[in-house]
Amino acid sequence: MTTTDPIADMLTRIRNANMVRRDFVLVPASRMNLAITKTLKIERFISNYELLRDKSQRVIKIQLKYTDKGQPVILGLKRLSTPGLRVYVQRSEIPRVYGGLGITIVSTSRGVMTGQQAWRQNLGGELLCSVW
């Protein structure tokens, strides 16, 4: 079955797995999902990820990260741009999440990166999601 918004589907799967304290979550693989997963790994919101081939399709196995007390590192995920309402921003309009404690993931002409990286490179683009 195809989904109309694979990014929102991935974020919802991560959010649901975090709520029930799963060790990992499987999400359908796409270039955008893989780029977002890489960004989450670089920013230390997840432990690790692995690209797997499950029967006829590829999936990403995302290892979720928890603190010593068992609390999830990812406290919230929010989809900002949807297929029905795309949100594009310039460099000066890139939002900060929780005063810099969270990140905004932006799709730019140079690839998917955090809002802070896009700001440093003087780039704007489509706001994909925010993570805190």
Q: Strands of 3-124 (E only): list them.
A: 24-28, 46-54, 57-64, 77-79, 88-89, 103-108, 111-114
Alpha-carbon gap, residue 50 to 25, rounded angstroms: 11
Confidence label for 33 from pLDDT (cuts 50, 70 and 90) = very high
pLDDT in tens, 35-70: 999 999 999 999 999 999 977 889 999 999 999 999
What is the residue-averaged pLDDT of the chain? 95
Q: Are 112 and 105 spatial neighbours (Cβ–Cβ below 8 Å)?
A: yes
Report pLDDT for 123.
97
Report pLDDT for 55.
78
Report pLDDT for 1.
56
Report pLDDT for 16.
98
Alpha-carbon gap, residue 38 to 44, rounded angstroms: 10
Percent pLDDT > 90 in the chain is: 92
Alpha-carbon gap, residue 95 to 58, rounded angstroms: 33
Question: All domains of the chain, ordered by start, with CATH?
Answer: 6-131 (3.30.1490.10)
Report pLDDT for 3.
81
Q: How far apart are the first and last CA of the chain?
A: 30
pLDDT in tens, 101-120: 999 999 999 999 999 999 99
Q: Strands of the chain (E only): list them.
A: 24-28, 46-54, 57-64, 77-79, 88-89, 103-108, 111-114, 125-131
